[in-house]
């Protein structure tokens, strides 16, 4: 049942000892190897010797996505560049991506965490698994791939984008497991249903994540496909997929605490919160070499439970996510900040900065329409000119966020003005 029993079932005291030893080493390493952290710790008047165990965690400085952006691309790496064997990247709040780097050992530990997560979902070396997260700079594809190979399963590296080929191979190869976003799996399920193919597949398990979903959606997927669907969580800054995953009891996601030290803080006061209280999830990586992070603010809202689980694991569990404490949207698995669109429009100069993002879900696939106000004069122009401008804006936005968008030009003052905080997003997706 359990892939790595010694690590997943240790007592709280044993875990605290292990985490404390790893934290002390991490703090020492970042203090000496990363000028950003040395400066931050000096500003707070602390030295590595002041951190003796996890009880000292609140003394340490926080790290944010902006800190990664400000140190773009490699400024927070804690090893010489020659030790880095892979980079991934995800969206930053404005133009610049956040870049993450891995040493060979980091990749091994990442694969081990994902393998443990797949094993939690009942997947073994006997399985044939389709990895249908995007391959490339996004951590989903290559992250899930590494874990599935480590487990010894037969991996079919599908990536995203060709559902017909995916369903054909699923049938022909006798695929038994799949890793993809939950919305994509629902889309796959509907495609199989339409083609009358559900009785012809051998699928038994799915490991879905990278975007928010509900318990209802999980059950819907399970019922449609007659499988067990598991929730896998992660973020590129901390590693990628495989930071936490839920077991067959589905009562929260077990965090791989032997590598990632979780905390819950109040996002306004930044004070630590008690177990059971909902707040922002913060991680300190305690084994990473390439990009170790102290108290990284994930912006994901959840609560934590330290009670042992019915499955026998003692790893702390985080509850299904309750949203984010910033305005980041996840559209087709891509992280998008409204500010990226604003920055792109302002740079173009031909539009006003008034825009509205309309996010919807059609056939279980996310769509994004951006309504942009343009000056009156454009509407008196020839239709060809309008079309040209629409295309140009779509290209500029696509370039900025890495997602194809539909652009609709609207007349001046037609986007509702807000009296308070501007509203830039209408999210019509109903998470069933």
- The residues that touch ligand DLL, with contacts defined as CB under 6 A, are 90, 133, 139-140, 209-212, 231-236, 240-241, 298, 300, 321, 324, 330, 335
Whole-number minimum distance, CB 48 to ligand DLL, in Å? Answer: 29
Report the residue number, 144 or 345, with the smaller CB distance to ligand DLL: 144
We find the least distance from the C-beta atom of residue 354 to ligand DLL, in angstroms, to be 27
What is the C-alpha separation between 275 and 306, in angstroms, rounded? 7
Rounded Cα distance, 112 and 327, in Å: 32
DSSP letter at 200?
A: G
Q: Nearer Cβ to ligand DLL, position 97 or 407?
A: 97
Q: Which is nearer to ligand DLL, 143 or 374 (CB)?
A: 143
194 closest CA partner among 218, 163, 230: 163
Closest CA to 348 of 373, 315, 380, 379: 373
Q: How far is the CB of 339 from ligand DLL (least distance, A)?
A: 17
- 304: β partners: 318
Kindly state the helix (H) or strand (E) to which residue 365 belongs, with its residue range.
Answer: strand 365-374
In the complex, the smallest distance separating the C-beta of residue 80 from ligand DLL, rounded to whole angstroms, is 25
Shortest CB 408 distance to ligand DLL, Å: 27
By beta-carbon proximity to ligand DLL, the closer residue of 209 and 292 is 209
Nearest residue (CB) to ligand DLL, 113 versus 309: 113
Least Å from the CB of residue 413 to ligand DLL = 34
Q: Are 147 and 115 in contact (CB under 8 A)?
A: yes
| Closest-CA residue to 279 (of 299, 293, 259, 295) | 299
Question: Token pair of 147, please?
Answer: 């874990």
Minimum CB distance to ligand DLL, residue 239 (Å): 8
Q: Supply the minimum distance, in Å, between the C-beta of residue 300 and ligand DLL.
A: 5
User: How far is residue 69's CA from residue 40's CA, in Å, rounded to a whole number?
Assistant: 16
Strand partners, 254: 245, 317
Q: Return d(Cα 38, Cα 352) in angstroms, integer.
A: 43
Tokens 């994540």 correspond to what residue?
A: 209
3-state DSSP call for residue 356? strand
The residue sitting closest to ligand DLL, measured at its beta carbon, is 209
Nearer to ligand DLL, 10 or 146 (CB): 146
Which distant-in-sequence residues (6+ apart) come within 8 Å of 173 by Cβ? 128, 156
Shorter beta-carbon distance to ligand DLL: residue 24 or 208: 208
What is the widest separation between alpha-carbon atoms in the chain?
A: 73
Say how far apart CA 355 and CA 344 lie, in whole Å: 11
- State which residue, 113 or 189, has the beta carbon closest to ligand DLL: 113
């Amino acid at each position: 049942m359990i892939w790595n029993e010694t690590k997943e079932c240790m007592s709280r005291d044993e875990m605290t000892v292990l985490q404390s030893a790893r934290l002390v080493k991490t703090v020492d390493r970042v203090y000496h190897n990363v000028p950003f952290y040395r400066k931050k710790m000096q500003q707070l008047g602390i030295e590595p010797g002041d951190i003796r165990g996890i009880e000292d965690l609140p003394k340490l400085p926080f790290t944010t996505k902006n800190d990664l952006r400000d140190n773009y691309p490699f400024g927070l790496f804690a090893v010489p560049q020659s030790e880095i064997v892979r980079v991934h990247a995800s969206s930053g709040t404005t133009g610049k991506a956040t870049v993450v780097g891995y040493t060979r050992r980091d990749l091994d530990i990442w694969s081990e965490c994902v393998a443990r997560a797949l094993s939690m979902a009942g997947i073994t070396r006997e399985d044939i698994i389709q990895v249908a997260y995007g391959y490339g700079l996004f951590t989903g594809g290559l992250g899930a791939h590494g874990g599935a190979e480590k487990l010894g399963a037969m991996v079919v590296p599908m990536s995203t984008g060709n559902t017909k080929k995916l369903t054909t191979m699923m049938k022909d190869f006798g695929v038994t497991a799949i890793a993809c976003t939950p919305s994509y799996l629902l889309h796959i399920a509907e495609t199989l249903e339409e083609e009358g193919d559900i009785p012809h597949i051998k699928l038994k398990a799915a490991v879905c994540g990278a975007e928010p979903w509900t318990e209802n959606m999980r059950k819907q997927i399970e019922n449609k496909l007659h499988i067990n669907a598991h929730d896998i969580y992660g973020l590129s800054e901390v590693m990628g997929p495989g930071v936490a995953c839920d077991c067959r009891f589905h009562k929260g996601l077990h965090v791989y605490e032997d590598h990632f030290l979780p905390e819950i803080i109040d996002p306004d006061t930044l004070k630590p919160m008690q177990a059971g209280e909902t707040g922002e999830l913060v991680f300190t990586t305690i084994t990473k070499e390439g990009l170790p992070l102290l108290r990284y603010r994930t912006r994901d809202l959840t609560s934590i439970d330290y009670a042992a689980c019915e499955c026998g694991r003692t790893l702390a569990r985080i509850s299904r996510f309750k949203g984010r404490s910033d305005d980041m949207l996840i559209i087709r698995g891509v992280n998008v900040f409204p500010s990226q669109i604003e920055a792109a429009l302002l740079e173009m100069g031909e539009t006003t900065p008034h825009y509205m993002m309309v996010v919807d879900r059609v056939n279980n696939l996310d769509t994004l329409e951006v309504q942009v106000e343009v000056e009156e004069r454009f509407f008196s122009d020839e239709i060809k000119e309008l079309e040209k401008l629409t295309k140009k804006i779509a290209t500029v936005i696509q370039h900025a966020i890495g997602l194809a968008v539909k652009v609709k030009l609207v007349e001046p003052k037609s986007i509702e003005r807000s009296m308070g905080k501007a509203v830039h997003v209408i999210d019509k997706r109903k998470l069933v």
